[in-house]
Amino acid sequence: MSGAAYRNPDLPIAERVADLMGRMTLAEKVQQIRTAWVDKRDMIDEFAFCAEKARKAFPDGIGHITRPSDRRGMPGVTGAAGGTAANWRTPEQTVEFINAVQRWAVEDTRLGIPVLFHEESLHGYMATEATMFPQAIALAGTFDTGLMERVQSVIAREMRARGVPLTLSPVVDIVRDPRWGRIEETWGECPYLVAEMGIAAVEGLQGPGKFEKLADGKVFATLKHMTGHGQPEAGSNVAPAQISERELRENFFPPFRRIVERTSVGSVMPSYNEIDGVPSHANGWLLGDVLRGEWGFDGIVGSDYMGVEELHTLHDMAQDMEEAALLALQAGVDSELPDGRAYETLVEAVEAGRVPAELVDIACERMLTLKFRAGLFENPYGDWQKTQAITANEEARDLALEAARKSICLLTNKGGALPLDTARMGKVAVIGPNHAIARLGGYSSVPKHAVSLIEGLRQVAPEADFVTAQGVFITTSEDRSQDLVYLADRDENLRLIDEAVEAAKNADTIVLAIGDTEQTSREGFAVDHLGDRTDIDIVGEQNGLVDALAALGKPLIVCAINGRPPSWPNVVEKADAVLECWYPGQEGGTAMAEALLGLVNPGAKLPVSVARNAGQIPLFYNRKPSTQRGYLFGDTSPLFPFGHGLSYTSFEISPPRVAKTVFAPDESFIVEVDVTNTGDREGDEVVQLYITRSKVSVTRPVLELKGFERVTLAPGESRSVAFTLTPELLAFWNRDMQEVSEPGPVRLWAGSSSATLSGTDIRIG
């Protein structure tokens, strides 16, 4: 086949695909839209690829392999979402495996079609020794799109060097329920913030703008999960999303839509849930009419793991795997992950006339197109020397530290309790279940190193006097892949609290590290592997630990190390200061220590509204005017509002300024806001621009974020920040479900959070 048109890199991709499709058998086409994960067992000896086994098990080739960094499918390896229970390959073993597979595919199969590999990279390439950045919700809190782009660029190059051209990231779900264990994987509740972060992330992974072929060191991104995933019924993962079309179009669609329209994103993943009675993996309106039709998406749709199978096994919609495959292909799902169990039925079904052959052809064409666009037909191999040079190198570690510093949010600071002064803080008791462990969060692997809070404090302030105590344990195990989760023994925790109090009695200051573990906030991917909760406060005896330490009357500083928003009213009341650290990544211990000691000035903001209790859910800033009338014996306000975050300095933000007060519906205009550092030290502020539309044909939210910029200012320094408001940013879906910017009043708001704003009135029309 050396002279075949599909092998000619100078020909258009469409021509190469057409030529290759004309040479393929039905069985070969079906293999291109299936994936192998458990079936790795049929192609490997221990960790190494075995060509002889592959020839027998995959006579029609291998189209797509799931997670080459793990050895899924070997005896003794239990199942876990994201491969968290798998035995990991080393970086060198991963490159060796990928290259051996590709040599076999290119040199020994009939048509020489290279294999597509995908991996996970929620906040770092989920493979051994790769750089682990702060968790997704922490990165969102930076409100820094430039940082997001740089972080994702490092993730892309570490992944592509090993030979992987496709990642299942980013998550651009809008999230409105902190009971949902996957909230940590998201960028929060705001469609505008998530869209802007999403564009930056995709361009970091893939490269900027529209293009045909991936550049060196880049990987195709996957937008997930489309859609409604972040507001499931009762906060339960994969549960139905009871969301109207208007709500979808105005809140849940925009991040997907804007990324598709502004980038060449390679892949979109449907969500597990159903909307209006139709599971996303069988929803032709969602994946066809909207995604490909209205938005013009031209990449692949890859299923979520077992998402096609679950049309039969979970949703009880398809009578068997064959019908599940038909429904998914009809909806536009091009690739079944992670093993293609439903699509395995397609050869027989097509030959028997039960499934149209053209459905397989359409999906296969899209998968081949992605491979050509990724350059796999020219160079499908990983590079071990490059992998060694760039994986978690000094530049990557420095960026992980910068990201951790920028993701820390100061929630409260009573009486200026922070920063601590090493000359006056005296002996510091560092206590709590998260003080001596570097928590990375879900979808993490094992980095080359990771720094805990106490390690960071001792490195940053080696002269200080630190004493430590466990305080409590949260759960009985630190194995995040463990299916069943048990809270730690209460009696043992009460004994540990007494020990912590004794340790703290002789200290002058208490730093308390509490929050979540990777077990108490996680993806609940099965009925025997849960991750969602009914209670959003801290679990176990942690509140008892807070009470006991607060009773000592010493300065009590809390480091919240967690995946869920800190809906901890007792902690907020008792603590003198609370730092929201989220899961801060491999360099998090250093960043937390620097923030506590004032070497870094926290500047992050909350990408979510923090509820006081589960009874307020759903609670989000862009609510409608008729909400929050009040509760008997309760409060409607959030514990912390969206966009909240304090600093060790102070800022003054002016009302927004515009050149005039009336604008045409099709007119773009500039909004300027002045920000001044009125304090005595350098710091970061996130200037936030909101709008309120009223007196129009449908009800509108009380606030909508339409611009933000993080600025660094010296004491006394001022800066003018300019935002452009376009007709698209002012538009909404009217009664006839048309997207328009209707005439009417608009209030422009500017400030440091959704609750601290000053406004200016204008009019459209």
pLDDT per residue over 343-375, tens digit each?
999 999 999 999 999 999 999 999 999 999 999
Q: Residue 369: which of 664, 33, 668 has the closest Cα?
A: 33
Q: What pLDDT score does 84 carry?
A: 43
Bridge partners, residue 672, by sequence: 657, 722
CA atoms within 13 A on the CB side of 490: 4
HEC readout, 589-620:
HHHHHHHHCCCCCCCCCCCCCECCCHHHCCCC
Cα(567)–Cα(261) distance, rounded to whole angstroms? 36
Three-state DSSP class for residue 672: strand
Bridge partners, residue 65, by sequence: 36, 117
Sign of CA dihedral 239, 245, 250, 255: positive
pLDDT digits (tens, 9 = 90+) for 567-590: 999 999 999 999 999 999 999 999
Domain 397-616: CATH superfamily, name plus number: Glycoside hydrolase family 3 C-terminal domain (3.40.50.1700)
Q: Any residues with CB less than 8 A from the CB of 70 and at least 6 apart, and which?
A: 83, 86, 87, 88, 89
Rounded to the nearest angstrom, the gap between the alpha carbon of residue 85 and the centroid of all alpha carbons in its chain is 20
pLDDT digits (tens, 9 = 90+) for 252-261: 999 999 999 9
Three-state DSSP class for residue 732: strand
Q: What is the mean pLDDT of residues 652-668?
A: 97
Q: Any residues with CB less than 8 A from the CB of 85 and at least 6 apart, and which?
A: 77, 78, 79, 481
Q: Do 187 and 197 touch, CB atoms closer than 8 A?
A: yes
Kindly indicate the confidence band of residue 47, based on its pLDDT and cuts at 50, 70 and 90: confident
Three-state DSSP class for residue 739: strand
Cis peptide before 618 (omega within 30 of 0): yes
Q: Do 307 and 270 touch, CB atoms closer than 8 A?
A: yes
What is each CA distance from 499 to 226, 268, 506, 561, in whole angstroms? 49, 51, 12, 22
- Buried/exposed 392-401: b ≥16 CB within 10 Å, e otherwise: beeebbebbb
Cα angle 471, 136, 168; round to 5: 125
Q: What is the mean pLDDT of residues 145-160?
A: 98
**In terms of DSSP H, where are the helices of 506-550?**
542-550
Kindly indicate the confidence band of residue 756, based on its pLDDT and cuts at 50, 70 and 90: very high
Backbone torsion region of residue 429, taken as left when φ is above 0, otherwise alpha when ψ lies between -120 and 50, otherwise beta = beta
Q: What is the mean pLDDT of residues 117-146?
A: 97
Residue type, 677: N
The token pair that represents 377 in the structure block: 């037909």
Q: What pLDDT score does 160 carry?
A: 98
Three-state DSSP class for residue 245: helix
Q: Do 13 and 21 touch, CB atoms closer than 8 A?
A: no
Kindly indicate the confidence band of residue 73, based on its pLDDT and cuts at 50, 70 and 90: low
Q: Where are the domains of the chain?
A: 24-116+271-370, 397-616, 651-764
Average pLDDT value over all residues in the chain = 96
Sign of CA dihedral 117, 119, 124, 126: negative
Pairing of strands 683-693, 704-713: antiparallel
Cα(129)–Cα(186) distance, rounded to whole angstroms? 24
pLDDT digits (tens, 9 = 90+) for 210-265: 999 999 999 999 999 999 999 999 999 999 999 999 999 999 999 999 999 999 99
Q: What pLDDT score does 481 carry?
A: 85
Cα angle 454, 457, 462; round to 5: 120
Q: Cα-flanking dihedrals φ and ψ of residue 7, to 5°?
A: -90, -5
Three-state DSSP class for residue 360: helix
Q: Which CATH architecture has domain 651-764?
A: Sandwich (2.60)
Cα(192)–Cα(377) distance, rounded to whole angstroms? 38
The token pair that represents 698 in the structure block: 């449908």
The token pair that represents 437 in the structure block: 């462990």
Q: Do 515 and 561 touch, CB atoms closer than 8 A?
A: yes
Residue 82 has pLDDT above 50, yes or no: no
458-462 long-range contacts (CB < 8 A, ≥24 apart) are 459/589, 459/590, 459/593, 460/590, 460/593, 460/594, 460/597, 460/599, 461/422, 461/593, 461/597
Fold agreement between 397-616 and 651-764 = no
C-alpha torsion angle, residues 67, 71, 74, 76 (rounded to 10): -100
Cα(174)–Cα(192) distance, rounded to whole angstroms? 10
Rg (CA), the chain: 26
Q: Other C-beta atoms within 10 Å of 85: how many?
A: 19
pLDDT digits (tens, 9 = 90+) for 14-45: 999 999 999 999 999 999 999 999 999 999 99
- Buried/exposed 150-180: b ≥16 CB within 10 Å, e otherwise: bbbbbbbbbbbbbbbbbbbbbbbbbbbbbbb
Cα(577)–Cα(571) distance, rounded to whole angstroms? 10
pLDDT digits (tens, 9 = 90+) for 380-432: 999 999 999 999 999 999 999 999 999 999 999 999 999 999 999 999 999 99
Beta strands in 300-419 (DSSP E): 300-301, 409-413
Q: What pLDDT score does 1 carry?
A: 66
Bridge partners, residue 653, by sequence: 675
Pairing of strands 267-270, 222-226: parallel
Q: What pLDDT score does 170 carry?
A: 98
C-alpha torsion angle, residues 700, 701, 707, 708 (rounded to 10): 180
Q: Any residues with CB less than 8 A from the CB of 348 and at least 6 apart, and which?
A: none
Q: Cα-flanking dihedrals φ and ψ of residue 24, to 5°?
A: -95, 145
Q: Do 596 and 410 touch, CB atoms closer than 8 A?
A: no
Q: Do 583 and 441 touch, CB atoms closer than 8 A?
A: yes
Rounded to the nearest angstrom, the gap between the alpha carbon of residue 260 and the centroid of all alpha carbons in its chain is 17
Q: Do 243 and 252 touch, CB atoms closer than 8 A?
A: yes
Pairing of strands 756-764, 744-753: antiparallel
Sign of CA dihedral 420, 425, 430, 431: negative
